[in-house]
Amino acid sequence: MTEISKINHKIIETLRSSAYMSDAEVVECLSFFELRSYHKKDFFLREGEVCRLRGYVNKGCFRRYITNTHGKEVILHFALEDWWIGDLESMINKQPSVFNIQALEDSEVFCISEDEHERLCSAMPKYFSLHEEKARRSHFASLKRLALAQAGTPEDKFLQLMKQQPQLFQRVPMHYIASYLGIEPESLSRLRKRLSEKEKKS
């Protein structure tokens, strides 16, 4: 396990403040994970692979996307620090994933297999409670994203993204954000201009 002093502080802050772990418990918890580095454009998971790991994004940014029947990439969401990545269905059922998960920045991920994750949850009740809470939040967020994808307009999705992950607009190329919104980059430029003008008038 990499020394705590050599890793990004995000996961340490989360375990201390949200799971109320002591420094010794933080070290024990992290011993269940493997710290991996991903360069920009590296894949955490490719379509057709069976997902073997779940990963906690400790530093960096990823996109999850599918390729539609026309061969076009469709971005489903972005994962920044403190997000989990992977495909739980693929992992549990040992079936090929339909998703691609790709780094958009040089990133640092704490990876853990499903067996090790179950061992960790059994060994450390504080971690288990934190994981359950994050799983609930992730589930509700996924339902909201699905509802918005079905009924929301590109403007609705844009405003939600601005509210929930404003840093994306400084870290992610605009053509990826346009893909997430389901519009062309030129349409995104017009949308941003229209909303900016609306804000100035209000």
Task: Between 104 and 143, name the one with better pLDDT.
Answer: 104
Domain extent for 92: 4-125
For residue 187, tell me if it sits in a domain. Answer: no
Q: In this predicted structure, what is the pLDDT of residue 145? A: 73
For residue 57, tell me if it sits in a domain. Answer: yes
Q: In this predicted structure, what is the pLDDT of residue 197? A: 82
For range 111-139, the mean pLDDT: 93
Q: Any idea what the CATH number is for the domain that residue 93 is in?
A: 2.60.120.10
Q: In this predicted structure, what is the pLDDT of residue 8? A: 77
CB atoms within 10 A of CB 149: 16
For residue 157, tell me if it sits in a domain. Answer: no
Q: How far is CA 48 from CA 53, 70, 97, in A?
A: 15, 17, 5
For residue 140, tell me if it sits in a domain. Answer: no
- CB of 73 within 8 A of CB of 50? no
For residue 160, tell me if it sits in a domain. Answer: no
Residue 197 backbone phi and psi in degrees, to 5: -65, -40
Q: Considering the chain, what percentage of its residues have pLDDT values greater than 90? A: 66
For residue 193, tell me if it sits in a domain. Answer: no
For range 93-120, the mean pLDDT: 97
Q: pTM of this prediction?
A: 0.88
DSSP, residue by residue, 36-64: EEE-TT-EEE-TTSBP--EEEEEES-EEE
| CB proximity list for 152: less than 8 A, separation 6 or greater | 160
Q: In this predicted structure, what is the pLDDT of residue 121? A: 96
Domain count for the chain: 1
pLDDT in tens, 60-80: 999 999 998 888 899 998 999
- CB of 108 within 8 A of CB of 58? yes
Summarize the chain as % helix, strand, coil (round to 5).
50, 20, 30
- Partnered with residue 43 across adjacent β-strands are 102
Q: How far is CA 87 from CA 101, 107, 197, in A?
A: 9, 18, 40
